[in-house]
A and B are shown apart, each in its own frame.
Chain A
Amino acid sequence: METRIGVYICHCGTNIAGKVNVDEVREYASHLKNVVVARNYMFMCSEPGQEMIIKDIKEYGLNRIVVAACTETLHGHTFREVAKKGGLNPYLVQMVSIREFDSWVTEDKVEATEKAKSLIRAGVYRVNYHTPVETTTYPVDSNVLIVGAGIAGITAALVLADAGKHVYLVERQGFIGGNMAKFDKTFPTLDCASCILTPKMSAVKNNPNITLFTYSEVEKIDGFVGNFDVTIRKKPRYVREDLCIGCLSCIENCVYKEPRFMSEFDEGIGKRKPVYVSFPQAIPLVPVIDPETCIQFRTGKCVQTCLKGCPTKAIDFSMKEEIVKVKVGAVIAATGFKVFDATRDTKYGFGRYPNIYTTIQMERMLNSAGPTGGEIRLQDGSIPKEVAIINCVGSRNENFNAYCSRVCCMIGLKHAHMLRDSIGANVTIFYTDIRANGKGYEEFYRKVMLEGVNFVRGEVASIIPSENNRLTIVFEDTLLSRVRKKDVDMVILNVGLEPHDDWEDVRKVLNLTCTKEGWLMEKHPKLAPVTSLSDGRFIAGAAQFPKDIPDTVAQAEAAAAEAMSLIDRGFVESEPNVIRIDEERCSGCRMCISVCPFSAITYNEEKNIAEVNTGLCKGCGACAAVCPSKAISQNNFTDEELYAEIMGVLRE
């Protein structure tokens, strides 16, 4: 059949047309071989633009479409749908990026126009070789895996569970709640974090649609969108969840009469026993035994008073790691963040001098359920009179993290208010800029200012101990352009947020992409902020980038909606870029099998050929690159298509 190509060049307002002479390019394209019609239009993705293509398909009998506009990632789907509406196989469309790959990255107008011509030429050459690609549909499993049970994971789980979807909520710590469970009050409304979080935590526990895996990690996710096989590794907590009634008498009866070990939950300012719960309202209310500190594990010779004191004999020192496999249709990654390790920026003296705390330690100290019972005390037991809060620790600093951590300014204001309120301390905030851009945030800032908190726009140079256990802050007052000093009793370092140390492993297991810092990448920063680049995997919360609770919750609800949209649609289309094996050509050499990472190709000994399971094929094309018999071709990326494209960009 005769090839009849239509070329559609988008102005994208002035985004393209401001650099590329679209009329000249259209004229050029109209003379390329097999091009029947070439048009340009203000917004090709708009309704009239789409209609124009559909009309042309019918009027000119087009059987190939080239759209020169933004990118395949952004609008590939749009124009495939357009082709479909016009009665063409959607894969007979080729997107050519003359915006991201040309007008936006080229300075000179003539050069940009020439480049657009060459890219369109390549697209036209390529589209000649396009063949219809048929995809099959697979049902979507209605279960969802949520990784991380902080406020993001909890919110998403509850939304989904309320809609009747079954959720597997996996948390690596022994208890859910994440960082929010550590906080005392939340800005700017100052409602207590546990008051708003703990009801949600119990709802998770009580919802029959949520299976909670705490002290567990996702080991592996196989399969594809709609049909993931998840392997979960449950670490032994040495207290059996099926027997424990949460009376906590094991903790009381532990041979250690007093807590002696650093509590991770209390960020190092509190102590716990080898058998512990994070806090008294922890979910699940089943203690964890830490084998690193438990005498039974360290010496094998403990009198096991915990077990003796346990009314249900739930303590089991022989518990082993357990592997659980579940099937889900969608995955939500809500893996959260960690705070900046303040010892890394040595000028602050954190970890060396007393009475210097991080904001998250201050949260624990302020928390009435925390290690000090909500009392703010210096190490000598006295009440601090003069407190400094230093913002941007580890943030907005090229040596550590160039980005703004977004929540710290508000945390600093909150702490200033609470310290004034509870102990009447004189508080000074050392800030770079105050960023209070949320609902009620600016008003809160103003309120705190009026309360008499001091604000110094300044860069801290160093903190050194001075007389009477006080601390001297040396800083540059950037409004006065002068180096100044100030003596205080206590310093709070307003630490930024960072991805977890093991973000690379997490990213690999969940098959997601990350920014160079380790934040999870969204598919599009504006239009697809909770969708990842991997189908069926969504992202929520501060794992994507630092964000406060309202934003986190909103994103978690959005991720839940995305997952639900996938599940309720009920089917997914198979990977279009799978490979085909031509039996007539296949020589049975099995080089393809050797390179396939997904075991999608098997050897048929009887016929002496390789056969592909397109359900397993993920469309990387490694086998097509290798096949020495040219028996394998990858849909949408055949040798001929790529040769034509390469030739196209090079020809004059």
Chain B
Amino acid sequence: MSENFEPKIVAIFCYWCTSQAAELAGTSRMTYPPNVRIVKTMCTGRVDPQFILWAFRNGADGVIVSGCHPPNDCHYEDGNFKWFRKYVLLSRTLEQAGIDPKRLRQEWISASEADKLKKVLTEFTEEIRQLGPLNHTIREGGV
């Protein structure tokens, strides 16, 4: 692993809770690693497992999805649960495929938890840095 490895991290946040926390982190001038790039959806229920694989495929070393706290915070009743179900099954599948499931992180961060957001993003970036790059071409020798 390179000493200078800077992981690329895609953060998919729901509009109502975690994006708001990210805005609050901004207005509160909390810093976190610039490796994290935020993509917003209205709800984590919108997150299609294809997005996660697409992110890995395009060079993400880690993906974090965060939405509203269960059981009641979701603006759309239970979108957070829908995402969680997809996450559980996808994680298992990633592991089987040899992609460390730690590279896909799932969190609940409410609109007021900017401090948690900072902590989680900093921690996750560090964790991915330790894991090293997700070299997708690793088993593509031959042809």
> Taking the complex as formed, is B43 at the interface, i.e. its CB lies under 8 A from any CB of chain A?
yes
Interface 0/1 of A622-651, CB less than 8 Å to B: 101110000000100101001101110111
A-B contact pairs, 7 of them (CB 8 A): A71-B23, A73-B23, A101-B26, A513-B16, A618-B76, A637-B41, A647-B58
Q: Is the Cβ of B42 less than 8 Å from the Cβ of A619?
A: yes
Q: Is the Cβ of B45 less than 8 Å from the Cβ of A100?
A: no
CB distance from B23 to the nearest CB of A (A): 5
Task: Identify which of B27, B51, B86 contacts A100 (C-beta below 8 A).
Answer: B27
- Given A101-B22, A106-B34, A514-B110, 14 new contacts (CB under 8 A): A100-B23, A100-B25, A100-B26, A104-B27, A118-B37, A513-B75, A515-B111, A595-B45, A620-B42, A620-B43, A624-B48, A639-B50, A650-B58, A651-B59
Task: Identify which of B20, B29, B38, B51 contacts A643 (C-beta below 8 A).
Answer: B51
Interface 0/1 of B79-102, CB less than 8 Å to A: 100100010000000000000000
CA distance in complex: A622, B42 (Å) = 10
Q: Report chain B residues within 8 Å CB of A595.
A: 45, 82
Q: Is the Cβ of A521 less than 8 Å from the Cβ of B111?
A: yes
Interface 0/1 of A14-52, CB less than 8 Å to B: 000000000000000000000000000000000000000
CB distance from B73 to the nearest CB of A (A): 8
Q: Is the Cβ of A646 less than 8 Å from the Cβ of B58?
A: yes
Q: Report chain B residues within 8 Å CB of A521.
A: 20, 111-112
Nearest A residue to B82, CB-CB: A622
- Which parts of A495-514 form the interface with B (CB within 8 Å)? 504, 507-508, 511, 513-514
Task: Identify which of A111, A619, A626, A643 contacts B54 (C-beta below 8 A).
Answer: A643
Nearest B residue to A126, CB-CB: B39
Q: Report chain B residues within 8 Å CB of A514.
A: 110, 112
- Which parts of A95-116 form the interface with B (CB within 8 Å)? 97, 99-102, 104-108, 111-112, 114-115
> Taking the complex as formed, is A577 at the interface, i.e. its CB lies under 8 A from any CB of chain B?
yes
Q: Report chain A residues within 8 Å CB of B82.
A: 595, 622, 625
Q: Report chain A residues within 8 Å CB of B72.
A: 504, 507-508
Given contacts A511-B75, A646-B58, contact A621 B42 (CB under 8 A): yes
CA distance in complex: A112, B79 (Å) = 32
Given contacts A104-B26, A534-B75, contact A645 B39 (CB under 8 A): yes
- Which parts of A74-101 form the interface with B (CB within 8 Å)? 97, 99-101
Q: Is the Cβ of A642 less than 8 Å from the Cβ of B51?
A: yes
Q: Report chain B residues within 8 Å CB of A624.
A: 46, 48
Q: Is the Cβ of B8 less than 8 Å from the Cβ of A637?
A: no
Given contacts A516-B113, A620-B42, A625-B46, contact A650 B55 (CB under 8 A): yes
Q: Report chain A residues within 8 Å CB of B16.
A: 513, 533
> Taking the complex as formed, is B17 at the interface, i.e. its CB lies under 8 A from any CB of chain A?
yes
Q: Is the Cβ of A112 less than 8 Å from the Cβ of B34?
A: yes
> Taking the complex as formed, is A13 at the interface, i.e. its CB lies under 8 A from any CB of chain B?
no
CB distance from A47 to the nearest CB of B (A): 24
Q: Report chain A residues within 8 Å CB of B23.
A: 71, 73, 97, 100-101
> Taking the complex as formed, is B77 at the interface, i.e. its CB lies under 8 A from any CB of chain A?
yes
Partner-A contacts on B (CB < 8 A): 8, 10, 16-17, 19-20, 22-23, 25-27, 29-32, 34, 37-43, 45-48, 50-51, 54-55, 58-60, 72-73, 75-79, 82, 86, 110-113
Ranked nearest first, the 8 interchain pairs of A and B with the lowest CB-CB distance are A100-B26, A621-B46, A620-B76, A622-B45, A649-B37, A597-B77, A515-B112, A104-B26
Q: Report chain A residues within 8 Å CB of B46.
A: 620-622, 624-625, 634, 637
CA distance in complex: A649, B39 (Å) = 9
CA distance in complex: A621, B42 (Å) = 7
Nearest A residue to B49, CB-CB: A625
CB distance from B137 to the nearest CB of A (A): 15
> Taking the complex as formed, is A72 at the interface, i.e. its CB lies under 8 A from any CB of chain B?
yes
Q: Report chain B residues within 8 Å CB of A106.
A: 31, 34
CB distance from B84 to the nearest CB of A (A): 12
Nearest B residue to A621, CB-CB: B46
CA distance in complex: A534, B110 (Å) = 15
Q: Is the Cβ of B37 less than 8 Å from the Cβ of A122?
A: yes
CA distance in complex: A108, B41 (Å) = 28
Given contacts A597-B76, A645-B39, contact A105 B32 (CB under 8 A): yes
Nearest A residue to B25, CB-CB: A105
CB distance from B81 to the nearest CB of A (A): 10
CA distance in complex: A111, B8 (Å) = 13
- Which parts of A429-485 form the interface with B (CB within 8 Å)? none
Most buried by B among A619, A624, A625: A625
CA distance in complex: A625, B39 (Å) = 15
Q: Report chain A residues within 8 Å CB of B32.
A: 105
CB distance from A359 to the nearest CB of B (A): 27
> Taking the complex as formed, is A559 at the interface, i.e. its CB lies under 8 A from any CB of chain B?
no
CB distance from B79 to the nearest CB of A (A): 5
Task: Identify which of B25, B29, B42, B58 contacts A577 (C-beta below 8 A).
Answer: B42
CA distance in complex: A625, B76 (Å) = 14
Q: Is the Cβ of A621 less than 8 Å from the Cβ of B39?
A: no
Q: Is the Cβ of A646 less than 8 Å from the Cβ of B10?
A: yes
Q: Is the Cβ of B51 less than 8 Å from the Cβ of A621?
A: no
Q: Report chain B residues within 8 Å CB of A626.
A: 48
CB distance from A121 to the nearest CB of B (A): 10
Nearest A residue to B63, CB-CB: A646
CB distance from A588 to the nearest CB of B (A): 20
Q: Report chain B residues within 8 Å CB of A525.
A: 27
Q: Report chain B residues within 8 Å CB of A334.
A: none
CA distance in complex: A115, B50 (Å) = 24
Q: Is the Cβ of B8 less than 8 Å from the Cβ of A650?
A: yes
Task: Identify which of B29, B45, B111 contacts A625 (C-beta below 8 A).
Answer: B45
CA distance in complex: A553, B102 (Å) = 51
Nearest A residue to B111, CB-CB: A513
- Which parts of A185-211 form the interface with B (CB within 8 Å)? none
CA distance in complex: A173, B43 (Å) = 36
Q: Report chain A residues within 8 Å CB of B50.
A: 639
Q: Is the Cβ of B10 less than 8 Å from the Cβ of A622?
A: no
Nearest B residue to A110, CB-CB: B34
Q: Is the Cβ of A621 less than 8 Å from the Cβ of B41?
A: yes
Q: Report chain B residues within 8 Å CB of A637.
A: 41-42, 46
Q: Is the Cβ of B39 less than 8 Å from the Cβ of A646?
A: yes
Q: Is the Cβ of A621 less than 8 Å from the Cβ of B34?
A: no
Q: Is the Cβ of B42 less than 8 Å from the Cβ of A114?
A: no
CB distance from B14 to the nearest CB of A (A): 9
> Taking the complex as formed, is A119 at the interface, i.e. its CB lies under 8 A from any CB of chain B?
yes
Q: Is the Cβ of B26 less than 8 Å from the Cβ of A622?
A: no
CA distance in complex: A249, B39 (Å) = 66
Q: Report chain A residues within 8 Å CB of B111.
A: 513, 515, 521, 533
Q: Is the Cβ of B37 less than 8 Å from the Cβ of A620?
A: no
CA distance in complex: A595, B83 (Å) = 11
Q: Is the Cβ of B29 less than 8 Å from the Cβ of A100?
A: no
CA distance in complex: A528, B77 (Å) = 25
Nearest A residue to B39, CB-CB: A645
Q: Report chain B residues within 8 Å CB of A118.
A: 37
Q: Is the Cβ of B41 less than 8 Å from the Cβ of A642?
A: yes
Q: Report chain A residues within 8 Å CB of B26.
A: 71, 97, 99-101, 104-105
CA distance in complex: A27, B58 (Å) = 24
Q: Is the Cβ of A620 less than 8 Å from the Cβ of B79?
A: yes
Task: Identify which of A105, A515, A643 contacts B31 (C-beta below 8 A).
Answer: A105
CA distance in complex: A645, B112 (Å) = 26
